[in-house]
Structure 1
Amino acid sequence: MRIAQIAPLYESVPPFAYGATERVVSYLTEELVARGHDVTLYASADSATAARLVPICARGLWRDANVWDTQTHHVRQLARVIGDAQRFDVIHFHGEPLHFAWADRSPCRTLTTLHGRLLPYDHGPLFREFARVPVVSISASQRRPVPWANWQGTVHHGLPLGEFEFQPMAGAYLLFLGRMMPEKRPDLAIEIARRSGVPLKIAAKIHPGERNYFRERIEPLLQRSRAFVEYLGEVGGLVRRQLIGNARALLLPIEWDEPFGMVMIEAMACGTPVIAFRRGAVPELLEDGVNGLVVDNVDEAVQSVARIDSIERGACRRVFEHRFTAARMTDDYLTIYDTLLAQDPSDPPRAAAQLDLRLDGTRPV
Structure 2
Amino acid sequence: MKIVFQHDHPLPIKTYGGTERIMFWHMKELVRQGHHVVLIGHPNSSVEAHGISHVKMAREDHNNWKHLVPKDADVIHLQYNHTVDLPIPTINTVHGNGQMGEYFSKNSVFVSNSHARNHGSDIYIHNALDFSEYPSPDLTREGWDNFLFLAKASWKVKNLKGAVHACKTAKKKLHVAGGRYWWPSRFVTSYGQVGGEQKLKIMSQCDALIFPVRWHEPFGIAIIEAWAMGLPVLASCHGCPAEIITPAVGAVYRTEEDLIQGLRVKPAVSQAAQIRQFAQQNFAIAGYTERYLALYKKIINGEQLGQRQPCWARPESAQHVLPF
Q: What TM-score bracket applies, with the shorter chain setting the length?
A: 0.7 to 0.9
Share of identical aligned residues, percent?
26
Indicate the residue corresponding to 2:257 in structure 1: 299
Matched, 1:6 2:6: yes
> Which of 190, 194, 202 is the matching residue for 2:164?
190
C-alpha distance 319-260 of structure 1, shift in aligned 2 (>3 A): same
* Alpha-carbon distance in 1 for matches of 2:237, 2:279: 20
| Residue deviations 1:122-162 (CA, integer Å, cap 9, x gap) | 22xx24xx6xx411111111122331x6x6x3111111132
- Is 1:159–2:138 an aligned residue pair? no
TM-fit CA distance, 1:299: 0.8
What is the CA deviation profile of residues 316-349 of structure 1, one whole-angstrom value per residue up to 9, with x for unaligned ones?
21220111000010010011111211236xx796
Larger helix fraction of residues: 1
| 1:243 positional shift | 1.7
For residue 109 of structure 1, the aligned residue among 89, 107, 110 is 89
What secondary structure is seen at the aligned counterpart in 1 of 2:225?
helix
Aligned amino acid, residue 279 of structure 2: F
Separation in 1 of the partners of 2:20 and 2:251? 28
- Residues 349 and 304 (structure 1), Cα distance of their counterparts in 2 relative to 1, 3 Å cut: closer
Q: Verify the 8 A CA contact 1:256 1:279 in the aligned structure 2.
A: yes
The 3 A distance-change label for structure 1 pair 185 and 269 is: same
Provide the C-alpha distance between the structure 1 equivalents of 2:91 and 2:273, rounded to a whole number of angstroms: 36
Larger deviation: 320-329 or 44-53? 44-53
Aligned: 1:42 with 2:40:
yes
Structure 1 pair 170/41, CA: closer, same or farther in 2 (3 Å)? farther
Once the two structures are TM-superposed, the CA of residue 166 in structure 1 deviates from its matched residue by: 2.4
**CA deviation digits over 1:199-223, x for unaligned, max 9?**
11111147xxxxxxxxxxx52xx22
CA separation of 1:278 and 1:32: change in aligned 2, threshold 3 A = same
Q: Secondary structure at the match of 1:310?
A: coil
For 1:142 and 1:85, the matched residues in 2 are separated by 32
Alpha carbons of 1:348 and 1:315: their partners in 2 closer, same or farther (altered >3 Å)? closer
RMSD: 2.3
SS of corresponding position for 2:151:
strand
- Aligned amino acid, residue 165 of structure 1: P
- In the superposition, the TM-score normalised over structure 2's length comes to 0.85
The verdict on how the C-alpha distance between 1:311 and 1:47 changes in structure 2, with shifts beyond 3 A counting, is farther
Deviations 1:256-300 (A, max 9, x none): 11201101000011110111100111112211x211110112111
Aligned length: 300
With normalisation by structure 1, the TM-score equals 0.76
For the residues of structure 2 that align with 1:348 and 1:292, how far apart are their CA atoms?
33
Contact 2:66/2:86 (8 A) holds in 1: no
1:39-118 equivalence runs, <5 A: 39-49=37-47, 50=50, 51-56=52-57, 76-77=61-62, 79-95=64-80, 97=81, 99-100=82-83, 103=84, 105-118=85-98
- Residue in structure 2 matched with residue 260 of structure 1 by the alignment: 219
d(CA) in 1 for partners of 2:86, 2:113: 28
2:147 aligned with 1:174, yes or no? yes
Deviation at 1:242, TM superposition (A): 2.3
What CA distance in whole angstroms lies between the structure 2 residues aligned with 1:154 and 1:349? 11
Structural mapping, 1:1-365, within 5 Å: 1-7=1-7, 9=8, 11-49=9-47, 50=50, 51-56=52-57, 76-77=61-62, 79-95=64-80, 97=81, 99-100=82-83, 103=84, 105-119=85-99, 121-123=100-102, 126-127=103-104, 133-147=106-120, 153-167=123-137, 168=139, 169-170=141-142, 172-180=145-153, 181-205=155-179, 218-219=181-182, 222-223=183-184, 225=185, 227-287=186-246, 289-308=247-266, 310-312=268-270, 313-343=272-302, 350=307
Shift of 1:195: 1.3
In the superposition, relative to structure 1, how do residues 284 and 13 fare at CA in structure 2: closer, same or farther (>3 Å)?
farther
Note the residue ranges of structure 2 that are not aligned, 5 or more in a row. Answer: 309-324
Matched-pair contact (CA < 8 Å) for 1:18–1:179: no
- 1:77, distance to aligned residue in structure 2 (A): 3.3
* Aligned-partner Cα distance in 1 for 2:63–2:249: 40
Separation in 1 of the partners of 2:79 and 2:222? 19
In structure 2, the partner of 1:359 is: none
5+ residue gaps, structure 1, are 58-72, 207-217, 352-365
**Aligned AA (1:179):** K
